[in-house]
Structure 1
């Protein structure tokens, strides 16, 4: 029996899945690690915590199976971190991750210097979320570490270096950094030169299913895997989630509510009309593209409410279910760490609007759940605006485990939705890349047909959809009204 192992380095934990030759999941593991917030706007993690979690999750997924039966390993990782390492691959500081917003000043400078290039080659405005912004911040604020750095690696690329001893990056992860030329599918020398960044910091890029190296003897001893096992280049967590959701052809769109909430669509080519609204990225399938719409703190908004005000998720869902759709005029803006699609703004912040004495705890919870989905609805509208078809709308991740949140999605989207039964979609996507890369699966269509399991269809209720359409129009007016206030003007 031959297996493939996929490991996803998420924001709060590493997750591993083991798939057999038919794409059936036969093992899984998980291990958590902390966030560090030493200053306002700073969000960092320790690479050694990631490494320990990878080993723990992989061992759980393998169980008592022979690691020699693992044909290939694939890695998925959180986007837009920056691991600054020396020539030996050792991190020089903690890793600023995608949630880190310290670099706004550097972003404003970069937009003045190279805004046209960023738009033309990366289809992006530079924001603090991007890896490039973190490189600029390091150069300006910690110049000694910048001088010592041999490589600026993305999170999963550093883990792959630890596994194999080989330095490299790959197109899907690199494509969202703002330092990448999406059309040429390579690092943009033009952008880096304009911003006076050493292009040598960025390693060569590979396609996602390319074999990037083999597990070293030292890594094998530390992780329980077998030395010599091939490792593919892998992918960013969102591109791998796209693959793990089966979004591999036009018309299939997926939404998910995890720490962030997102909507994703497949594309054959790029469209500049989505500039500064959607995030373009290279699809893990070589030569293809994908679009991402995002709400940074989607599921994190409900987690915040739970942690600050108490109660289990079951209790919160039950309270929200007793409240009518629309939460009797109460709205929640889920921008706890800035807004994303369609108006990226790191200064935006969350809040309740329309609060009245009659509103209860259940109203607050329902408003949070609805606000997250309203934010996702913007992404679907952006897809439609650039001509992307939505023939089948799939929903997955943690938010899809709630029957109420599933129904809210169908009603606010105004479409029937199909629940993805498969969990740990980014890790599954990484495993599928490993399977295609080593030849266990003949192609991506075959790989997805075995691994991506669909469950029930949740029908859109016409009467609720009509009411929600009116509410969504009111929600859409909130950011334009508050934009100047967020900016302190």
Structure 2
């Protein structure tokens, strides 16, 4: 048996698979996000541990015998978080999360230093880890003075699980401290933020063993000794492992809290000017590119809260047939935007409202706005040298067939829907646990699931979606002028 632990923004998922990669069961633990000020997004790392315990105990309550047979654990987690520890490994402050944008000034200052893009292969985004630590140095010097080590969220879980300070390439690539081409910490980039290699965890590949589960936890969970913990992956790379998106030309679109258009690459293809992320993949000798939007299902959930309706109820009101854009445009910049704007200050809006704009019209606009944001990402990937001809859908929002129809038509490429199953980040993490425990062939283990059906672009609406996209695209500079 093999266990995947996925530390997300809203919860932790524990998923158990057997040697044939059949899902045996899962458990979850919930998390909340603290937003004490505009642009801030934080969590208490102790809550990650509690949520993980809840998830594993829920799994144990139903599958104690199978849990006892676990040989390997894989980790997945939300990326970019700054978990700051002192010399005793005590947490110094709440972790600043991936969608925390308070360090936008620090990010711009680091990005102005040409060595950051040259070595990390990416723009220094406000959500990345390095500018957050500089923000702490500038605004909380008493905490920075005590700082001994910086860990990413899932790697703090690893410390609790194994006692080891270890990270892996895919997650480390999102810090702005990794030389992504060389797959190693850059002493120059660390020095530019007042740190050195001693402040960083050691690095392994996602398929390698990073440590062994502590005896007390193994006993508590009913496991045997020598349960290995794999390097694991950042959440998007873990999802790619779960979806089998590990070979050249394979891609997926993820409709989670944030949105991702992800393409696997066999070589390192940096192009920071496109605002595409170029990161190490979880498998050795591989990389990936992705366009990232900060509000995907988060945008629909926000609108659902405003209307006091459930998201599924709102999308259900649209029916099955894809509608032509109504003229109402939604810009989903609720937390700023990454690809291709790199703008932490921009905020969202509805445009084109009229008396006839009812709840259904606004729901449609929200779904289309996210679809058009993915089209921005598709164009950015093309500018970075990666042209996609189809994608596989993943994430909670992919349960809406209407939304997938809008995405397929907005992008003008087919969207494959996998057969029923759980192929997300927790499944990918479990696969990495299997690979590490058994020294298995990564590509053989990380096979793609069967496709249940394919959603083709709707030819009759391509022209109208194209016109609506250009209206969407032209609204950003106008909105920027009003908000600046």
User: TM-score, structure 1 length as denominator?
Assistant: 0.94
* Structure 1 unaligned regions, length at least 5: none
* Deviation string, structure 1 residues 410-435 (Cα, Å, up to 9, x no partner): 21121221113433611111111111
Post-superposition offset of 1:169: 1.2
d(CA) in 2 for partners of 1:19, 1:389: 34
CA contact (8 A) 1:277 1:382 kept: yes
Post-superposition offset of 1:323: 9.2
In the other structure, the counterpart of 1:448 is 446
Secondary structure at 2:339 match in 1? coil
Post-superposition offset of 1:68: 3.2
Secondary structure at 2:271 match in 1? helix
In the other structure, the counterpart of 2:186 is 188
CA contact (8 A) 1:274 1:382 kept: no
* Deviation string, structure 1 residues 343-375 (Cα, Å, up to 9, x no partner): 110011111011111111100000000100110
1:478 is aligned, of 475, 480, 483, to: 475
Secondary structure at 2:357 match in 1? coil
* CA distance 1:224–1:294, shift in 2 (3 Å): farther
Post-superposition offset of 1:312: 2.1
* Structure 2 unaligned regions, length at least 5: none
d(CA) in 2 for partners of 1:322, 1:248: 32
Is 1:261 matched up with 2:259? yes
* Deviation string, structure 1 residues 447-483 (Cα, Å, up to 9, x no partner): 233x735321112211122321221122111223333
In the other structure, the counterpart of 2:23 is 25
Secondary structure at 2:90 match in 1? coil
Which range moves more in the overlay, 273-282 or 240-249?
273-282
Post-superposition offset of 1:391: 4.1
Q: How does 1:86-165 map to 2 (within 5 A)?
A: 86-112=86-112, 115-165=113-163
* CA distance 1:275–1:225, shift in 2 (3 Å): farther
User: TM-score, structure 2 length as denominator?
Assistant: 0.95
Query: How many equivalent pairs are there?
Result: 481
Is 1:432 matched up with 2:431? yes
Secondary structure at 1:7 match in 2? strand
Q: How does 1:160-179 map to 2 (within 5 A)?
A: 160-179=158-177
* Deviation string, structure 1 residues 127-149 (Cα, Å, up to 9, x no partner): 22010011111111112221212
* Deviation string, structure 1 residues 90-141 (Cα, Å, up to 9, x no partner): 21221111111111232233234xx201110112222220100111111111
In the other structure, the counterpart of 1:281 is 279
RMSD: 1.9
* CA distance 1:226–1:163, shift in 2 (3 Å): farther
CA contact (8 A) 1:255 1:395 kept: yes
Post-superposition offset of 1:75: 0.6
d(CA) in 2 for partners of 1:6, 1:103: 32
d(CA) in 1 for partners of 2:437, 2:374: 36
Q: How does 1:391-402 map to 2 (within 5 A)?
A: 391-402=389-400
Post-superposition offset of 1:221: 4.8
CA contact (8 A) 1:250 1:389 kept: no
d(CA) in 2 for partners of 1:101, 1:467: 35
d(CA) in 2 for partners of 1:175, 1:184: 11
In the other structure, the counterpart of 2:50 is 52
